[in-house]
Amino acid sequence: MDKLDQVTFEVLKNRVMAVNNEQAIVAARMSGSSVCYDAYDFNTAITTAEGRGLYIGLYNTGIGHPITMAIQSIISSFGTDVHDGDAFLTNDPWYGPVHQQDMTIAAPVFWYDEIVCWGAISIHEPDVGGPVPGSFSVGAKDCFGEAPLIPPLKIVEEGQERRDAIYHCLRNSRTPELLALDIKARLGGLNHLKRRIRELIEKYGKDTFLTFQEQLLEYVSTVVKERLRSLPDGVWSASTYHDHDGTDNILYPVHLVLTKQGEKLTFDFRGSSPQAPGIINCTLMGLHAGISAALFTLLCYELPWSSGGLNDIYEVIVDEGSIVNATFPAGVSGGFPAVIWNVTDLTNYCLGQMLACSARLRDEASSVWAPGYNGTFLSGLDRDQKPFVDVVLDGTACGDGALVHKDGIDSGGSFIVLQVRLSNVELQELNFPKLVLWRRESGETAGPGKFRGGCGLEEAFMPHKAPIPLTDVVCSFGHALPLALGMLGGYPGSVQANVIARNTNIKDILSHGVLPTRLEGITASEVKTLPAKHITELGFNDIHIAVYSGGGGYGDPLERDPRLVRKDLANGLCTTKYAADVYGVIFSDTENFVVDTEATFQRRQEIRDDRLRNATHVGTTADNNSTEQQIGNIQTLTDCLAIGNVAGGKVICCPSCQHIYGPHTSDPRLGAAFRERALIDLSEVNKYATSEDICLREFFCPGCGLLIAVDVVRTNDEVTGSMWLRG
Amino acid sequence: MLATIGGSQINAGGLSATYRIAVDVGGTFTDCCIVSTEGVMTIAKAPSTPSDPSIGVLNSLDEASRQLSGSLLDLLSQTETIVHGCTIVTNAIVQRAGARTGLIATKGHEEAIIIGRQNQKLDGLSDIEKTHVTRHHKVDPPIVTRELICGISERMDVEGEIIVPLNEAEVEDAIEDLVTRKEVQAIAVSLLWSFVNPAHEVRVKELIKARYPDIEVSLSSEVMPVLGEHERTLSTVFNAYTKSLTRSYVTTLAAKLRQAGYKHSLLFMGAHGGLLDEDEAKEKSIFWLNAGPIGGTIASRELGDRYTKENIICSDVGGTTFDVSLVIGRELQRETEPVVHQYRFYLPSVSISSIGAGGGSIIWVDEAGIMRVGPRSAGADPGPVCYGRGGTSPTITDADLLLGFINPESFLGGRMNLDLKLAEASLQNMGRQLNMSAEEVATGAVRIVEAQMADLIRQRTIEYGLDPREFALVVYGGSGPVHGCNYSSELGITELYVPEAASVFSAFGLLMGDMLYTFEASNPLRSPLTDRDMEIINATFKQLEDKALHTFANIGVKEDQVIIIRTLRMKYKLQYHLVEVSISQKEYSSADADMIEEALRQRYISLYGPGTVVEGAEFEIISFRVDAVHKPFHVSVRRQEATSGAAAPEPIGSRSVLFTREGRVLSQIYAGDRLHSGHVIMGPAIIERMGDTVVIPPGFVAKVDPYKSIIIRAENK
């Protein structure tokens, strides 16, 4: 069939996208889980008959691509044993879903006896079994200590529910009634999808619908390739650590080298840690989920998120048995908020630097966003003495990464969960026996920069009218070290934290008509910072304080417009001390927030001088570069780097003082100076950091002190490069 | 009743009839539509007067009474009902022109509306826009800044039990800080769980009023007593922000009308698509939000009935805004959490999208030297340059005039002359900055604004997967018929309907509105339903119905004129989303328990498909709703059979018109009041009607239908 005309293609492109969204809305409305109905921690997908991804929904981006992989697994598991009216369930990370909690149900859509597409819905379930309430099986060494794996299972056969199969899925859950309802919710969403797709085929014809699918994949692929071609070729690399494996606070290195050539990306994860004896590993499918979350978000703007359209734009190189390509029976219940998130962060970091070096697409570059889920799972008995599991999703309300032209969004939500939203305090207190004492934005969580990262939240909650103390499981990361890396001289966001104050006098305080909004002033027998992953009890007079991290900054904070610092000060997101220490901005009148321009100028010069005084030169190349060399035709690459010509060829240099870092294809860090600083110098929140050998490594121009990069490293880590432009 | 336009239809008795009047206050014009008991319609327009909109209302009524050859006193003393619609609350919020408003919230939770549930950045965006994360941002500037939010110590829990008693000393400090130091004029109070136990909110109000009786106070437990502090607080803040506006406006308007001879109470169109009485309208200013254009949607639905069109795109080009709403399967589209300027709040309402694009939209040049149009409007004062009231920024109306779409001498039926020279000079002036001729500026601006209009329709239809070609497009508003053909053809729509009274269509629709009062009570019951539960069901509905009937009785509507619709809002156990189940029976006994369960089951299956009910699942009734509807009267338009004479009317002249696509073409001019059913007019042509101008570009054909609506089709497209 010929290509569809423009209007028909546009209508179908949007209509099928809308249908995918409708199946999500229907499922959410039928669901019994506030995680799905209210907070939108779920997603949907539509694929071609062969399982190539056409659309993922705009809810939790991270679990979108895994849904299409689950459909592919179901197709290869069941072959021709797929009939009209069938539905299949899986929660097995080696078959698609990123962890056992993301139970996924898929169904084929038939037109007469032909499959014309597949639909699927994945909802993060409050509990699917295993030793730990919430099924993030903290403490497990491998998947035998986690919730049961369910490889593709036919749960509806030609319209008839297989009660034995469904009962099998419900049997291990602490909340089977909820899970039963949520299975119905997915089937309801899929019914709706089938009805709408059939209506569409009745109107436009089957051939038009099938042609449309191919045209859509081609369209997405064409646009993304065109975007890639306009980006510079080169190599970008980054390293980070995943902290805590569920038992021990061990740091597991994850390493990415991204090569970009023309319209092709190669992700090389070799050198990452071997798989860990804990719940944090990801399968090869999980690795793809992590990469695609960043590709969709940064390169597929204003396009349908079709994984099928990205197939030939990237390839992955990875060692089998590593933490990012774990083999059975590795522990995987950490899901996205485990190593997969580090994968997304590193992809974001490398793509961000690449975009920032592009004249055309630099506005699309983003610093790394906060480690987007400080997960807490409260469980016990509710006010009606019934078992409950409260998946506290508030930890996704963290700060967004800074862009090259503006600050990251405060409490804007995390990178991979596009449309997940914070539940109202009232809804949480209606459902679960708890009281939320405070919830506010916390300024020092944000990564400073010319444009700062968005800040995250701090909140505190305690049991309320609970018949028994609550079990409090935390499964988080980014507690030992900041993970939201800054971009091109921007600083990282803070660490996140969970703190328990035990046996407090809170009830006394409340009954006297005082509502505290911080820990200071509350008496406690013990105040303990929890490890990233931990199981504990939350007693009747205990308070859990959670800090959700902020996003990474962009550019040297000394370049920040003092008016923006003033605005933060007025909004209570920064103190005068912080303004002076980090931004070099001095206020002459702190009552009315008047900036002292002269003092600010001096203070900023002092900070730059201080950097230069304590500097170590990175490489030998620094010695060869003299600022006396005449540079011609200087073209700004980013705010802190420029390309110019010297007698010997093109060089990369400082746009401010024209210090030459080296040949333009070399890593500018090799011609930079650096110094190391303690985490606590950056943010008061970093006092909660659960590792002691982490520091910030600032790279700056040896000529003028302008920052070009800030790494988060262990003190003994070697200095590494991160960017080599080509051509 | 039959209605036709024009003084010639008036009975010999002049003002002997009784009248019903609708007034619609827009950004630029105040429209008035009067229908007599004999079914004769009279329309009038007067410039809006934003500083005191009641002046424009009285002027439009005055103008109408002149057309009826009577005095304003005669008209108003013989008027039974005045229905009013306006955009003043929407404008106040969009332009940040409401009262300086402070917020008192539970300490520790002050930032709920700043945090914005973390996805404020996405609210109001289309799906495609949501995918572009680097373009997202929060509301800026917020309607209440952080410094105007005060936290106080107090706390209720889920059961309404007091966990922390109200700390009155902190309340006094907060009031002092907001009123004295920060000079707020209004205070919104939104405390956690106040919809369960409003005691603390009520006390805060007492404390404010005791000290500052003139400060407007809105309590969340009164404005919108629903669960969810974020949405409830925003509804309350919007209410506080605009209440002084509506209060003083309703008071002033009612006094002026009564002084002028009107004896009854006023009715106001609310966002929910029903009419409100004066007291309700004063207190709940939030119900005015987005209510302005609803009349047009209702009128479009009625228009669609004539052509058996159930799916309609309603497009309204006013002076200030372009509004789009949809009718699908004869139903107005509703939402409970509308978004205004990125703020998602709670308000059961008819869904309407607006952008700042209309006849008054200002043409300007941005920093990069690029021509832009809107969203700022010249409004009513000074209005477009050609009005000659001191405006110097050229507008779309000025461009329309220069291009020859509008006749400077027949604007508003010849009652207002437009100054072509002034318009041309201002466009020329702008052209110098752009290195363009005045005509090039005018053509460019019109193309830009028409593209914006097409984009909004596209957003409401194509981006939701709806094919605009499957809808009937109704075009109205003062400038709609000028631009309709062009924005419709951008969307591939080949047929559009221009109603007879297009320039006052929204006002006309107000007369077709139902009075609707909705009362809701939350009274959770869980299955199995007992005899006692059945008594509760009966008693709860009875109480709500009594309230509704009482409200109607207050405005003289008798019980037998009211239709009561009972709805149970239900769910299966563990669910959150409520399903609305209509219940027709008036009294229930224990034998009906199965019937209620079955009604839920059937409703559920119709929504979600067979096999989606968990067998044996318990269900819950969460709340009871009574919609009480009263249709004040019905207006229909007399059908006129096709004349046997000429298929084409005689043109009254011709002039050269510069079309944006085809260039300058000599076009026939027709007089609207000489058109008859069956007349066919080929483009290029212009039809000059009372209140508007219908532009038929080359390639379009217009046909006059028996209701004097003009149906325009694109030929060979």
pLDDT tens per residue, range B17-30: 788 899 999 877 89
Contacts with B134 from chain A: Cβ below 8 Å: 301, 363-366, 403
- B226 CB within 8 Å of a chain A CB: no
The structural domains of chain B, ordered by start, are 2-92+248-288 (3.30.420.40), 96-244 (3.40.1360), 515-630 (3.30.1490), 653-714 (no CATH)
* Per-residue pLDDT at B717: 45
CA distance A168 to A152: 13
pLDDT tens per residue, range B618-655: 898 988 889 898 887 666 666 677 666 677 789 999 99
> How many DSSP H helices and E strands does chain A contain?
14, 31
Residues 199-258 of A with CB under 8 A from B: none
The partner residue sitting opposite B109, judged by closest CB among A31, A397, A425, is A425
pLDDT tens per residue, range B28-46: 789 999 988 777 788 898 9
- B465 CB within 8 Å of a chain A CB: yes
A397:B115 CB<8 A? yes
Residues 534-573 of B with CB under 8 A from A: 572-573
Pairing of strands A160-161, B19-25: unpaired
CA distance A27 to A187: 8
Q: Name the 3-class secondary structure at A529.
A: strand
**Of B275 and B401, which is predicted with more confidence?**
B401
Structure tokens at B396: 């779309």
Residue B422 main-chain phi, psi, to 5 deg = -60, -45
Query: What does the buried/exposed string (b/e) look like for B245-266 if buried means 16 or more CB atoms within 10 Å of the residue's CB?
Result: bbeebbeebbebbeebebeebb
B134:A403 CB<8 A? yes
Evaluate if residue B5 carries a pLDDT over 70: no
**Of B357 and A46, which is predicted with more confidence?**
A46
Evaluate if residue A16 carries a pLDDT over 60: yes
Confidence of residue B616 (pLDDT cuts 50, 70, 90): confident
Residues 580-639 of B with CB under 8 A from A: 607-614, 617
- B229 CB within 8 Å of a chain A CB: yes
* Per-residue pLDDT at B7: 37
Confidence of residue B460 (pLDDT cuts 50, 70, 90): confident
pLDDT tens per residue, range A318-355: 999 999 999 999 999 999 999 999 999 999 999 999 99
Q: Which of B566, B589, B570 is nearest to B579 (CA)?
A: B570
Tell me the CA distances in angstroms from A402 to A3, A449, A505, one per residue in order.
Answer: 41, 8, 40
pLDDT tens per residue, range A660-671: 999 999 999 999
- B134 CB within 8 Å of a chain A CB: yes
Contacts with A409 from chain B: Cβ below 8 Å: 121, 136-138
Residue B711 C-alpha from the chain's centroid = 25
Identify whether the C-beta of residue B265 lies closer than 8 Å to the C-beta of residue B277.
yes
Evaluate if residue A178 carries a pLDDT over 70: yes
Evaluate if residue A574 carries a pLDDT over 90: yes
Q: Average pLDDT in the A399-424 region?
A: 93
Which chain B residue has the Cα nearest residue A26? B608
B463:A305 CB<8 A? no
A585 contacts: CB under 8 Å, gap ≥ 6: A560, A562, A565, A566, A579, A595, A600, A603
- A571 CB within 8 Å of a chain B CB: yes
Residues 117-176 of A with CB under 8 A from B: 156, 159, 161
A253 contacts: CB under 8 Å, gap ≥ 6: A239, A240, A241, A271, A272, A273
CA distance B121 to B99: 25
Q: Which of A429, A338, A324 is nearest to B155 (CA)?
A: A429
Per DSSP, the residues of A351-371 read: HHHHHHT-TTTGGG-BPPPP-
- Please count the residue pairs, one from chain A and one from chain B, whose beta carbons lie less than 8 angstroms apart: 216
In this prediction the ipTM stands at 0.95
Closest CA–CA distance from residue B519 to any residue of chain A (Å)? 23
Q: Average pLDDT in the B543-571 region?
A: 89
Q: Which amino acid is at B145?
A: T
Q: Average pLDDT in the B156-184 region?
A: 96
Closest CA–CA distance from residue B524 to any residue of chain A (Å)? 14
* Per-residue pLDDT at B6: 40
Q: Average pLDDT in the A289-306 region?
A: 95
Contacts with A572 from chain B: Cβ below 8 Å: 146
- B197 CB within 8 Å of a chain A CB: no
Which chain A residue has the Cα nearest residue B576? A32
Evaluate if residue A227 carries a pLDDT over 50: yes
Q: Average pLDDT in the B495-516 region?
A: 89
Which chain B residue has the Cα nearest residue A185? B612
Torsion sign over Cα A10, A12, A17, A18: positive
Q: Average pLDDT in the B584-602 region?
A: 86
The partner residue sitting opposite B574, judged by closest CB among A17, A32, A300, is A32
B121:A19 CB<8 A? no
* Per-residue pLDDT at B523: 76
Closest CA–CA distance from residue B479 to any residue of chain A (Å)? 27
- A441 CB within 8 Å of a chain B CB: yes
Neighbouring C-alpha atoms within 13 Å toward the C-beta of B637: 25
Which chain A residue has the Cα nearest residue B490? A7
Q: Average pLDDT in the B363-375 region?
A: 78
* Per-residue pLDDT at A325: 98
Mutate to test the interface with B, among A405, A421, A465, A518 (most CBs of B within 10 A): A421
Structure tokens at B644: 């046997």
Evaluate if residue B362 carries a pLDDT over 50: yes
Q: Average pLDDT in the B584-606 region?
A: 86
Evaluate if residue A442 carries a pLDDT over 90: yes
* Per-residue pLDDT at B368: 62
B227:A427 CB<8 A? yes
Which chain B residue has the Cα nearest residue A363? B134
The partner residue sitting opposite A426, judged by closest CB among B127, B146, B193, is B193
**Strand blocks (E) in B584-632:** 619-630
pLDDT tens per residue, range B304-355: 988 999 999 999 998 888 999 999 988 888 888 899 888 999 998 899 888 8
A301:B609 CB<8 A? no
A18:B464 CB<8 A? yes
Longest dimension (CA), chain B: 84
pLDDT tens per residue, range A85-138: 999 999 999 999 999 999 999 999 999 999 999 999 999 999 999 999 999 999
Closest CA–CA distance from residue A276 to any residue of chain B (Å)? 33
CA distance B717 to B714: 6
Q: Average pLDDT in the B223-246 region?
A: 93
Evaluate if residue A601 carries a pLDDT over 50: yes
Contacts with B193 from chain A: Cβ below 8 Å: 426, 429
* Per-residue pLDDT at A629: 74
**CB neighbour class for A250 (10 Å; exposed up to 12, middle 13-18, buried from 19):** middle
The partner residue sitting opposite B133, judged by closest CB among A16, A297, A425, is A297
Contacts with B455 from chain A: Cβ below 8 Å: none
Which chain A residue has the Cα nearest residue B151? A515
CA distance A719 to A346: 17
Torsion sign over Cα B167, B169, B175, B178: negative
